[in-house]
Amino acid sequence: MASLAENQGNNRTLRDRAWAVAAKVVDPEIPVLTLEDLGVLRDVRVADDGAVEVDITPTYVGCPAMGVFTMDLETELAKAGFDKVRVKTVLSPAWTTDWISAEAKEKLREYGIAPPEGKASRRALFGDETVTCPRCGSENTEKISEFGSTACKALWKCRDCAEPFDYFKCI
Amino acid sequence: MNDRLFAYTLRLADDAAILGQRLGEWCGHAPTLEEDIGLANIALDHIGQARALYTYAGEVEGKGRDEDQLCFLRKEREFSNCLLVEQPNGDFAETIARQFFFSAFMLPFWEKMKASRDETLAAIAAKAEKEAAYHLRHSAEWVIRLGDGTRESHERMQDAIELLWPFTGELFEADDTVKALVAEGIAVDPATMRDVWGETVKKVLGQATLEMPEEGWAQTGGRSGIHSEHFGHLLTAMQYMQRAYPGLKW
């Protein structure tokens, strides 16, 4: 019979393997970003019954991609040999764009989505925002709509290169 | 089970679900493509909040009812949403006035709810607060644009403000359920929202060159299940799938 210490060691290896698999799952709407890049992946654990438990948190509470995240996590973990997987949605602490890393923001820009600007804590009823065009780098841009192709994005337009673009809203 | 917590969570869920349903009716019919997407996005936020709240209400009740059963299989008199959210979409000005009045209340409400002693309500509040900030900004911008726009848009916006004004008083009502939960540090006392709500409304209506109606008689009843004549019709559309195909899943 394996000692408790050995079991914990195994669990840690298992956990690291499971994390590596889960961390590679991408957002179906923004396929250049992984759930880890987005800060949506919160925790991966190995439970007492050997199941892998994954915690994810929604960007917006009604985000329809959560169902796809769950399915993709289950599929990818199953492919890697994890038969028992439980994906849990956690709401607290509330997701913020501050969790998107600098590298991930750069990936967003390259993909054509303007990354969130500034810190989430800054807020006024009618705040002035400056958003840089992800295509030509101009700051001469205007908001077309607070709401874009997904809950987390707004629609903007560049006055210099005339391209419309998505802006990842700062929350 | 904690009856009060169940009732309270359910009414927050009902507010969100019914407003989400109303906004969803605009999908494919809004005046411009951007607004179509915008209203559907706001609807989605409310439906997301409703899902989290119904799921929690079901857990508190402990009888195995899930979000679908609570939303789609209860009868009219069992719904405890406020009357404001069930009012018909009307013209675009009425939809905007309804959203503005509601969001101006919900933003400070969720801000306070983050400090609730109930961890789940506090967690939902932390998410919903960020969304409410967008909803308030979006609707306030439209109130100003329409109020300070053409003569017709000004008139329509003023009419919408006056039409829905009598339903705003109910937002601040506290019955025994709320009072008891406020005392326990779980609920937010809606009466404490009155000043901040009034200030927001006054500021935006002023910028919009619109007149703020006098405080007066308030139509209430939604919290105790007495709804307006529009509500049954809303439920027939919203509940059709679960009524026709009980237990249906996506």
Instruction: Give the per-residue pLDDT at A147.
Output: 87
Q: What CATH number has the domain bearing residue B72? A: 1.20.1260.10
- On chain A, the residues whose CB falls within 8 A of the CB of B131 are 60-61
Instruction: Give the per-residue pLDDT at A6.
Output: 52
Q: Cα separations (Å) of A9 from A23, A55, A123?
A: 21, 21, 46
pLDDT over threshold 60, residue A98 = yes
- Mean pLDDT within A88-113: 92
- On chain B, the residues whose CB falls within 8 A of the CB of A62 are 44-49, 51
B18 belongs to a structural domain: yes
Within 10 Å of residue B198's Cβ, how many Cβ atoms? 15
- Mean pLDDT within B28-33: 91
B189 belongs to a structural domain: yes
Q: Which of B237, B108, B114, B231 is nearest to B167 (CA)?
A: B231
Q: What is the ipTM of this complex?
A: 0.80
Query: CB of A126 within 8 A of CB of A149?
Result: no
B250 belongs to a structural domain: no
* Residue to test with chain A: of B44, B49, B116, most A Cβ within 10 A: B44
pLDDT band (50, 70, 90) for residue A2:
very low
CA distance A50 to chain B (A): 26
B249 belongs to a structural domain: no
Query: CB of B57 within 8 A of CB of B197?
Result: no
pLDDT band (50, 70, 90) for residue B221:
very high
B165 belongs to a structural domain: yes
pLDDT over threshold 90, residue B42 = yes
Contacts of residue A7, defined as CB under 8 A and 6 or more positions apart, other chains included, come to none
Instruction: Give the per-residue pLDDT at B98.
Output: 98
CA distance A41 to chain B (A): 16
pLDDT over threshold 50, residue A1 = no
| Alpha carbons A44 and A20: distance in angstroms, whole number | 10
| Alpha carbons B121 and B188: distance in angstroms, whole number | 11
Give one word for B198, left, alpha or beta, with left for phi > 0 and alpha for psi -120 to 50. Answer: alpha
Bigger pLDDT: A151 or A25?
A: A25
- Mean pLDDT within A141-157: 89
Q: Which residues span the domain enclosing B133?
A: 3-244
| Alpha carbons B177 and B198: distance in angstroms, whole number | 25
Q: A147–B34: do the CB atoms touch at under 8 Å?
A: yes
pLDDT over threshold 70, residue A71 = yes
Residue A122, CA atoms < 13 Å, CB-side half-sphere? 11
For residue range B133-155, what is the model confidence (pLDDT) as tens digits?
Answer: 999 999 999 999 999 999 999 99
Q: B127–A169: do the CB atoms touch at under 8 Å?
A: no
Query: CB of A18 within 8 A of CB of A83?
Result: no
Instruction: Give the per-residue pLDDT at B28.
Output: 94
Fold assignment, A4-89: GMP Synthetase; Chain A, domain 3 (3.30.300)
Q: Does B133 touch chain A (CB under 8 A)?
A: yes
Instruction: Give the per-residue pLDDT at A149.
Output: 82
User: What percent of chain B is predicted at pLDDT more than 70?
Assistant: 100
| Alpha carbons A69 and A52: distance in angstroms, whole number | 15
Instruction: Give the per-residue pLDDT at A15.
Output: 93
* Residue to test with chain B: of A42, A57, A60, A61, most B Cβ within 10 A: A61
Q: B127–A60: do the CB atoms touch at under 8 Å?
A: yes
| Alpha carbons B8 and A61: distance in angstroms, whole number | 20
pLDDT over threshold 70, residue B26 = yes
Q: Does B136 touch chain A (CB under 8 A)?
A: yes
Scanning the structure block, which residue is given the tokens 């250049």?
Answer: A32
Query: CB of A59 within 8 A of CB of B93?
Result: no
- Mean pLDDT within A9-24: 88
Domain count of chain B?
Answer: 1
Q: Does B130 touch chain A (CB under 8 A)?
A: yes
SS3 assignment for chain A? CCCHHHHHHHHHHHHHHHHHHHHCCECCCCCCCEHHHHCCEEEEEECCCCCEEEEECCCCCCCCHHHHHHHHHHHHHHHCCCCCEEEEECCCCCCCHHHCCHHHHHHHHHHCEECCCCCCCCCCCCCCCCCCCCCCCCCCEEEEECCCCCCCEEEEEECCCCCEEEEECCC
Instruction: Give the per-residue pLDDT at A152.
Output: 87
pLDDT over threshold 60, residue A122 = no
| Alpha carbons A140 and B136: distance in angstroms, whole number | 26
- Mean pLDDT within B84-111: 98
pLDDT over threshold 90, residue A60 = no
Give the residue extent of every domain in chain A.
4-89, 97-168
Query: CB of A55 within 8 A of CB of A93?
Result: no
Q: Which two tokens stand for residue A18?
A: 């499971």
